[in-house]
Amino acid sequence: MEFASEKKREILSSIARNDGHGEHSPYFDGWKAYDRNPFHPTQNPDGVIQLGLAENQLSFDLIEEWIKNNPTASICTPAGVGKFKDVANFQDYHGLTKFRQAVAKFMGRVRRGKATFDPNRVVMSGGATGASETLIFCLADPGDAFLVPSPYYPAFDRDIRWRTGVRLIPVPCNSSNNFQVTLAQMESAYTKAIEANINVKGVILTNPSNPLGTTLSKETLTSLLSFTFKKNLHMVCDEIYSATVFNSPAFTSISEVMQETECNPDLVHIIYSLSKDLGLPGFRVGIIYSYNDQVVNCARKMSSFGLVSSQSQHLLASMLSDEVFVEKFLEESSRRLAKRHSRFVEGLKHEGIHCLEGNAGLFFWMDLHHLLKEPTHDAEMELWRVIIKDVKLNVSPGSSFHCMEPGFFRVCFANMDDHTVEVALKRIKELVSKGNGSGDAKKHGRKRNLSLNFTSRKCDESLMSPHQRMSPHSPVPQSPLVRART
């Protein structure tokens, strides 16, 4: 009888039971639709084209060429195997000295020498996802909050909130000034949070912005850094797209601004990665750079849970130390990104589709509000479902980025070849020509029963290809969990 009256005990932890990971958000639902029916120019030409993956695949040939010309950089070649024992042996969480030195130098080069970085402050982590979470573990306790200008990267809700227990408070930005955050907006969000008895620990900025594809001005960074200083708040800057700038204005890092602005360096921290700038997400290189000694020490200890392999460190240390290669890569990558961005945006402009003027990143912010039946997020989701199922393009809806204005979509442009770009543009043209409004799109959708229910754990079976092919870039290969930073 005693046992029967006892409260039922949960077998699993609260983290295992909750839905804080966010894998059921529209952002990741689009991935699942693509994974079940991935486009291939010959094997599956009617499949879904992946425009939701922020990968830089335009300059792989430059890296491949360097590897061929530098066989000693890898311990897996006859020329480099002599270093195998040294690299394969256990390395502590400080990482290889030459790797930290090379990363620090590369970060300075990307910022055009306007800031220098101390290798002893470079802390490794398993990608920017691990770096972000580790840093937040060092800065805040469960229930604390950070202010984040929106629209912002959807997986912040996973990377920063899920296991740390912190809160993210969106600071709504709007199209009237191209979604640029203002000091007034930040102050308003802070005041409301304090009035609600929320303990605000800091501000998180993404610069260049994901999803906007724009950079923050020096003036904006200065005003926000001054704001955090006066409020005694942490300033966390995610700068993982800093070398993807392909047009003016140039990128300005918080590391440059803090040299000219009254601030507390102990409250300034940078998240960096080689996933976007070099196009190496599979290497899982995330970096925490903090000006706070305690944060550096704590983060380094915590990095034991997500280190970068010694083999990757060894290779990248050699690559990043090659100044001639680095200069060539950064210049050529920027040129190729600019060309691809222009082709996509101009192609959409020809169809009457406006995009936010961008200068950085691997994506652009597309405005389809004129295709909505009504100016609501429900109408946005309805249009998104038609785009996924009927047009077969995986674009990410603005609402998944916490955008307050319906009708915006993030489109990634650097993860495909030129042929796929033309196919995608053709499909968008067909969407517009079907009625230039989601009223017609909706009617077409009802006729073909295009409703998708992404709230359940299973995607609409009609999205699957006949052979149920899984993409090699799948974030959910044989698993309901999604991959890291996209």
Distances (CA, A) of 34 to 168, 425, 474: 29, 17, 8
Q: In what order do the strands lie in the sheet with 122-126?
A: 122-126, 285-290, 268-273, 234-238, 200-206, 145-150, 167-172
Catalytic (active site) residue 238 = yes
Kindly name the residue from 157, 238, 277, 460 that is annotated as catalytic. Answer: 238
| Residue 333 to residue 344: CA distance in whole angstroms | 17
- CA atoms of 15 and 250, how far apart (whole Å): 41
Of residues 201, 276, 389, 442, which has the active-site annotation? 276
Q: Would residue 32 show up in a list of annotated catalytic residues for this protein? A: no
CA distances from 54 to 51, 107, 210, 339, 485 (A): 8, 21, 9, 17, 9
Q: Which amino acid is at 186?
A: M
Look at residue 215 and give its three-state secondary structure. coil
Instruction: Point out the catalytic residue in the list 27, 152, 153, 291.
Output: 153
Of residues 49, 75, 169, 240, which has the active-site annotation?
A: 240
Question: Residue-wise over 66-88: b if at least 16 C-beta within 10 A, else e?
Answer: beeebeebbbeeeebeeeeeebe
β-strands 363-367, 354-355: how paired? antiparallel
Burial of 114-139, coded b for 16+ CB within 10 Å and e otherwise, reads: ebebeeebbbbbbbbbbbbbbbbbbb
Q: Is 288 a catalytic residue?
A: no
Instruction: Tell me how crowded residue 283 is: count the other CB atoms within 10 A of its CB.
Output: 19
* Cβ neighbours of residue 64 closer than 8 Å, sequence gap 6 or more: none
Q: 361, 209 in Cβ contact below 8 A?
A: yes
**Would you call 49 a catalytic residue per the annotation?**
no
Q: Rounded to whole angstroms, how far apart are CA atoms 485 and 364?
A: 17
Q: Which residues are marked as active site?
A: 153, 238, 240, 276
